[in-house]
Structure 1
Amino acid sequence: MNEQRGSTEQPLAEAPITDRPALPDLARRLLAVDTGGWRPDVVEALSRGLGWEQGGSADRPVLVTGHSSGDARLRPVGTYEQRYVGGESYVELSVPVATAAPDAAAQAAAFRAAREELTSALGRPSVLGSHGDMGPFYDSGPLWGAPFVRWRGMPDTLELRAGKSGPELVLQPTDPAENWFWRQGSGEEHAISGYFGSSNDPVNAGLGFPGGWRARSWETVTRSLGDFLETLPAEAVALGIGFGMPFYGRTSEGAPLLFDVTCDSDGLSIGCFVPDGVDAAALGWGTVAEHPGTASVWRDDDPVWRVHAGGPGEPKGRALAEMLVATARAVGVGEPTGLIVGGEAEYVDAYHVRFYGLGLPTG
């Protein structure tokens, strides 16, 4: 089995960042603005503090930045936000900071370039992860992936988030965003998607974590695992981290290692460990000869069965998930709760990561 992956920082093609103020300067200006408790006069305060003009309408206010990447958008408290706020009239200000081609590789590179620039200026983010298919306050994210990094603070938090056309810098009141996330821990299937990683940074003191949910059918596992695997290479590149995830299968013989999922800047590879008598080839698995991209991950014969699913935008998540579920059932895993994510998978670089969107137990 491969060793736990950490940082995947390697040179990439330069991301297509368009004209705008230097990101560190923009980030500091956002953090320095008096948001006034995010109450009605916040629009005037923000526009005055940033030197931008007010625009849009009452229900869709914008601040006209003059940048080619787009104007900043304020999100007023509406039906979906009301129960999570404590007097605020707005829950975020989103500033597009780059545009890129719509393909996953270009979007991931643009996000990574912005993240590296901000990290150099602000330090390591205290929180990172993926919003999955359900962003804050039930917003939908881009199909290529939904990575985010966050510099948590009080009363406001700064987040770099994947937007529809490129990365966006988001200033938000901390309490409503965290209240929304915490309340998603209802236990219902797909209540929370994506994954959430936090560091031991003192700024994370008091950070709450919602309860997870458990898949109740193999179809649910197939969907959640497919969604996760399809975007993982792009998100690994964007976040600059690598994933090393063992999966164990509980059978009448115990809970041996079944899969080893590894993903970094070289792409997504999955190794399979099945007992004699299981026809792995018939289930869709190949060898190193058929998947030479796995040679840098494992030795030639351990594991014998493997696939290399490719880099950003290349994995076929549903097909991969169907293969993993079929394999788990073929070796005798009788129910979804018998597919277990190894606890070591939760330690990624300097972060403790909770894989909420999988709906699988960890042990």
Structure 2
Amino acid sequence: MNAQRGSTETETVAELARRLVAADSGGWTPDGVKALAAGLGWAWSDTPAHPVLVTGRSAGDARLRPVGRFEERYVDGESYVELAVPVAEAAPDAAAQAAAFRDALRELTGALGKPSVMGSHGDMGPFYGSGPLWGAPFVRWRGRPDTLELRAGRTGPELVLQPTDPAENWFWRQGVGEEYSISGFFGSTRDRANAGLGYPGRWTARSWETVTRSLDAFLGALPAETTALGITIGMPFYGRNDRGAPLLYDVTCGDRLSIGCFAPDDLDPAALGWGTVAQHPATASVWSDDDPVWRVDAGGPGEPEGRRLAEMLVATARAAGVSEPTDLIVGGEASYVDGYDVTYYGLGLPTG
């Protein structure tokens, strides 16, 4: 059993992460977790909601998630499925939360190396736990038998130590094909740490209202999540119609969300809500002045109007002759982001 002790107010995020990675969870049984807490130097406190480990950290105490009705079918002898430790507090706005997450990620990457998994939980975290409204980014240093995750928490980023199998079993079993069965996006490297990692099946949007809702959720949080994760997503969309499957729009998002429209000549993009570089000058750093002519600057963390953007994209696709949601195709180029192979589960759209 790990005997490292002494979590204090001055312990850095990196030092805490190293102690969690080195800790022995004892199979996540009651005795094993109590020994884990003792080894970390944290006091056990029972509350009506869940056990709390008193850490003495200014960001807050650690929380244990016991196995309940949402978790029981995914475990194999574990009594707990995660230990979450807040590591920083930030103002509630999306920009401050994304910056706090990014700062923690930089420090952890320096200490532990590049995470083997990254993504967004969307509106449903592991075991159906909801995340913050501004976005739900996460990264993982996958291991055996336990995995360390940096996750967006209620008031700031949290380090989560968890048994590897239950969370992955939960995710894999969501691939049932029903609309909205999985949200967010998931990316993994080809690092050997991901050997044996399973990937769930995807679901398909069956109506334009479903596409509108999925694009709303995706675009509204995207710049906050990409800022937090330190990535840039380039995502072309192709619209299949009776003329083929031409490029319809280009979504580019790093610290700001920009969308370019390649509309057919017989469309009036301005009537659909698109502007030019004169109206959206920030997009000049993404594209030249006249290619594409039509574009929109949707803003940085917390700024995109997800529903309005989603309705504009759907209206443009339908006006361009895209008759079914399955004919709106995410370009395969979007599947490769900073060394990660990414699947956009929450969109419900085909990739090709």
TM-score normalized with structure 2 length: 0.97
Alignment partner of 1:278 out of 243, 261, 267: 267
From the superposition, tell whether residues 91 and 254 of structure 1 become closer, same or farther in structure 2 (CA, over 3 Å). same
Q: Is the 8 A contact 1:19 1:69 kept in 2?
A: no
Residue type at the aligned position of 1:286? G
1:168 and 2:158 correspond: yes
1:358 — aligned with what? 347
**5+ long unaligned stretches in structure 2:** 1-7
* Count of aligned pairs between the two proteins: 345
| Superposition deviation, residue 67 in structure 1 | 1.2
**5+ long unaligned stretches in structure 1:** 1-17
Q: Separation in 2 of the partners of 1:184 and 1:332?
A: 33
Q: Separation in 2 of the partners of 1:279 and 1:135?
A: 40
1:38 — aligned with what? 28
Q: Is the 8 A contact 1:154 1:174 kept in 2?
A: yes
| Superposition deviation, residue 59 in structure 1 | 5.5
Q: Separation in 2 of the partners of 1:48 and 1:55?
A: 12
Q: Separation in 2 of the partners of 1:90 and 1:58?
A: 16
From the superposition, tell whether residues 55 and 20 of structure 1 become closer, same or farther in structure 2 (CA, over 3 Å). farther
Q: Is the 8 A contact 1:186 1:212 kept in 2?
A: yes
1:268 and 2:283 correspond: no
SS in structure 2 opposite 1:192? coil
Q: Separation in 2 of the partners of 1:59 and 1:102?
A: 24
Q: Separation in 1 of the partners of 2:333 and 2:195?
A: 23
Note the aligned Cα RMSD (angstroms). 1.1
SS in structure 2 opposite 1:352? strand
Alignment partner of 2:281 out of 281, 292, 306: 292
Deviations 1:7-35 (A, max 9, x none): xxxxxxxxxxx955111111111112211
1:338 and 2:293 correspond: no
1:216 — aligned with what? 206
Q: Separation in 2 of the partners of 1:146 and 1:229?
A: 13
1:12 — aligned with what? none
SS in structure 2 opposite 1:175? helix
Residue type at the aligned position of 1:192? I
2:122 — aligned with what? 132
Q: Is the 8 A contact 1:20 1:69 kept in 2?
A: no
1:197 and 2:187 correspond: yes
Deviations 1:231-288 (A, max 9, x none): 10011110000000000000011100000000012x0000001111101000000000
TM-score normalized with structure 1 length: 0.94
Runs of 4+ in structure 1 deviating by more than 4 angstroms, as ranges, are none
Residue type at the aligned position of 2:21? L
Q: Separation in 2 of the partners of 1:142 and 1:340?
A: 29
Alignment partner of 1:21 out of 11, 15, 28: 11
Deviations 1:177-214 (A, max 9, x none): 10000000000000000000000111100100000000
Q: Separation in 2 of the partners of 1:197 and 1:153?
A: 16
SS in structure 2 opposite 1:295? helix
1:303 and 2:292 correspond: yes
SS in structure 1 opposite 2:30? coil
Q: Separation in 2 of the partners of 1:313 and 1:292?
A: 19
Q: Is the 8 A contact 1:20 1:68 kept in 2?
A: no
Alignment partner of 1:159 out of 149, 159, 174: 149
Identity across the alignment (%) = 75
1:60 and 2:50 correspond: yes
**Structure with the greater relative contact order (CA < 8 A, sep ≥ 6): 1 or 2?**
1
Residue type at the aligned position of 2:268? D
Comparing 311-320 with 51-60, greater Cα deviation is found at 51-60
Alignment of structure 1 residues 83-94 onto 2, 5 Å: 83-94=73-84
Residue type at the aligned position of 1:284? G
| Superposition deviation, residue 222 in structure 1 | 0.2
